[in-house]
A and B are shown apart, each in its own frame.
Chain A
Amino acid sequence: MTGMSERNRHLIVLGIGLILLFGLPWVVDVVTLLELTIYIVYALFALSLGFIWGHGGILCFGQAAFFGLGAYTYAVAAINVGESSGPFLLAILLPAAFAALLGAMMFYGRLSDVYLGVITLVVALILFKFVNSTANETYVIGQARLGGFNGIPGFPTLNWPGDPSAPLMPDEMFYLAMGLLIAVYFGLHGLLRSRFGRIVVAIRENELRAELLGYDVRLYKTAVFAIGGGIAGLAGVLFANWGNFVSPGVFGLAQSATAIIWVIVGGLGTLIGPIVGAVLIQFLTTQLGQQSVVNNAFVLGLILVLVVLLLPKGLMPTLGQLFSRGRRK
């Protein structure tokens, strides 16, 4: 494939990941660490889309539905429970179950890719509209007010398991987010090497052939979609805890579209691509936000157009090719 064996590449990724995990909190101040944490959260969200799109062949235009569901589930459950472990798990399981249900309807209904894109987009927008219109105080789940466009502020943030009096500090939030990103990355890598993962990739390559070999494509795609939903939910939980605030914007079109841009820029079909894409684009967005010469969205749009035209495979696959070519010379 490339000049470097797959094993070596993953060892390098693991090495860099561990150095960043244990090294960064020692060299950067707490404000930078907080900023890095949100990049990692976005990277996790990008990974969820990169997995279902790049490996499962499912282009979801509404991945924010699961991200938002994770964020809101955590906020509502944390207010009701008062401790974070249960809500944390629930906020992964609920989006995964919702994705499984939605996926089953779409895949068993044999929807074509275009309709699949439209339906996922519409589901995210319906959730946005619904949550946005729950400002009235009658919209409560247990003790939690949904708050409509005002969002939900001030819910109990993540604490050490079983001890609500010990909330995670910013550096601990960083360790958790980075540790989870590394775990999810290698978990997905292991999954793709398993029999299940090889069949998923085969389905992306040729759905009819996979069917004719006796694999129930609908079941596999539903499972992939549910896993992607769970990971997006996990990113949503971390997002909610990072700012200690959730608002309907988490379900928004911008959230879904940005994730698609991260994946395209970083490189479809790799696991590292979406991570690099998310971190890079978010870093640029932050830097551009500090100036007022050019419009932020304009520059990001230009970057997307340039990447699509000049690096159609995305950043990481192109770098991989260049690297292997360089080694061969």
Chain B
Amino acid sequence: MSARGEVVLETRGLTMRFGGVVAVDQVDFTLRDGELRCLIGPNGAGKSTFFKCLTGQLKPSAGDVLVRERPMTGAEPCRMAQAGIGVKTQTPSVFNGLTVRENLFLALARHHAGRIADARTDEALERYGLADLRHRRVGELAHGQRQRVEIAMVVAAEPWLVLLDEPAAGMTHEEVDALAALIRDINRRSTMIIVEHDMQFIRMIGDRVTVFHQGAILIEDHVDTVLDDARVREVYLGS
């Protein structure tokens, strides 16, 4: 485990082009151990593309991604996961045709053999409040419940770095409150990056915030400072 405060994730000049469009433009980004970092920005600001470059879902056109100083640029998503990084995608990415229990089992089976994985699955079902839903097919669940299943899958194996893309999307107020508490709890063990739209939610969990605008970092500071910043208001609301 790295000492708290050490740089654990870094991008240097990270760029992603789609034809003539530059979605992410030479981004230098640094994340320290134990942080809970929010990435915000208006639609099309490039935060989700940046997120996908970090997780291996997109191969960047230029620049580097370093994970604990190891180059991981363009590594396959499975290699990122094997390096101890848990990822939740923007739309719930779960095994819809399988039960809640099987979903969690699959999240744990890569880390533990047979019976241990089974025991850990039952523990995780209890811990994340999914025990009552264990035999339900995930595809039959409500959107918020599916989000919860996915987050439980992402964090069940206790990755040291957790990346969540819009975890609060489509959740009710109660679910969002519970999610904020869960995220603070996860952050006790894992460093986190959260891409989010919902300003209320950012205030609830926020610590340091990075604002994206037109593919580049506009400002990076504490949540209160960022939300009071005139430039941030302008890119969100227009001048």
A residues with CB within 8 A of B: 195, 198-199, 201-202, 205-206, 208-217
Distance in angstroms from B65 CB to nearest chain A CB is 16
With A195-B114, A199-B109 as contacts: A212 and B55 at CB distance below 8 Å: yes
B40-67, CB < 8 A from A: 55, 57
A209 touching B81 in the complex, CB below 8 Å, given contacts A198-B106, A214-B110, A215-B110: no
Residue of B105, B106, B114 with most chain A CB atoms under a 10 A cut-off = B106
In the complex, 22 of the A-B residue pairs with CB atoms within 8 angstroms, ordered by the A residue number, are A195-B114, A198-B105, A198-B106, A202-B106, A205-B96, A205-B98, A206-B94, A206-B96, A208-B57, A208-B77, A209-B153, A210-B106, A211-B81, A212-B77, A212-B154, A213-B106, A213-B110, A214-B82, A215-B78, A215-B110, A216-B76, A216-B78
A205 contact from B78, B80, B87, B97, Cβ within 8 A: B97
Option from B80, B89, B105, B106 in Cβ contact (under 8 Å) with A208: B89
Give chain A nearest CB distance to B208 CB in angstroms. Answer: 25
Q: Which chain A residue shows the least CB distance to B111?
A: A214
Q: Interface on B for A, CB 8 Å cutoff?
A: 55, 57, 76-78, 80-82, 86-87, 89, 93-98, 102, 105-107, 109-110, 114, 153-154
How far, in angstroms, from A205 to B92 measured CA to CA in the complex?
13
Question: CA separation between A206 and B92, bound complex, in Å?
Answer: 11
Give 9 nearest A-B pairs by CB, closest first: A214-B81, A211-B77, A205-B95, A209-B93, A212-B87, A214-B110, A214-B82, A216-B78, A211-B78
Bound-complex Cα distance A304 to B129 (A):
46
A196 → B minimal CB distance (Å): 10
Report Cα–Cα, A201/B77, bound state, in Å.
19
- Could you tell me if A201 and B98 are in contact, using CB atoms closer than 8 angstroms? yes
Residues on B with C-beta less than 8 A from A205 are 95-98
CB closest chain-A residue, reference B108:
A213
Asked whether B93 lies within 8 Å of A212 as measured between CB atoms, the reply is yes
* CA–CA, A217 and B106, complex, Å: 13
CB atoms of B94 and A209 under 8 A apart: yes
Q: Which residues of A contact B154 (CB under 8 A)?
A: 212
In contact, B98 and A202 (Cβ under 8 angstroms): yes
14 new A-B contacts, CB < 8 A, other than A199-B109, A205-B97, A206-B96, are: A195-B109, A198-B106, A198-B109, A199-B106, A202-B95, A202-B98, A208-B77, A208-B89, A211-B76, A212-B93, A213-B81, A214-B110, A215-B78, A217-B78
A214-B107 Cα distance, complex, nearest whole Å:
9
The answer for the CA separation of A216 and B76 in the assembled complex, in Å, is 9
With a cutoff of 8 Å between Cβ atoms, the chain B residues found around residue A213 in the complex are: 81, 106-107, 110, 153
C-alpha gap A168/B81 in the complex (Å): 53
Which residues in A have their C-beta under 8 angstroms from that of B95?
202, 205-206, 209
Minimum CB–CB distance from A38 to chain B (whole Å) comes to 35
What residue of chain B has the Cβ atom nearest to residue A219's Cβ?
Answer: B78
Contacts of A210 in B (CB 8 A): 106
Q: How far is the CA of A201 from the CA of B96 in the complex (A)?
A: 11
Q: Which of the listed residues A198, A206, A212, A216 has the most CB atoms from chain B within 10 Å of its own CB?
A: A212
Measured CA separation A208–B153 after assembly (Å): 13
Q: Inside 8 A of B98's CB, which chain A residues have their CB?
A: 201-202, 205
Complex Cα distance A212/B105, Å? 14
What are the residues of chain B within 8 A of A217 when measuring CB–CB?
Answer: 78
The residue in chain A whose Cβ has the minimal distance to the Cβ of B92 is A209
Name, among A195, A201, A205, A215, the residue most crowded by chain B CB atoms within 10 Å (CB to CB).
A205
CB-nearest residue of chain A to B106: A202
In whole angstroms, what is the CA distance A202 to B98 when docked? Answer: 8
Which B residues are in CB contact (< 8 Å) with A198?
102, 105-106, 109
A254 to chain B, nearest CB (A): 33
A215 to B78, CA, bound (A): 6
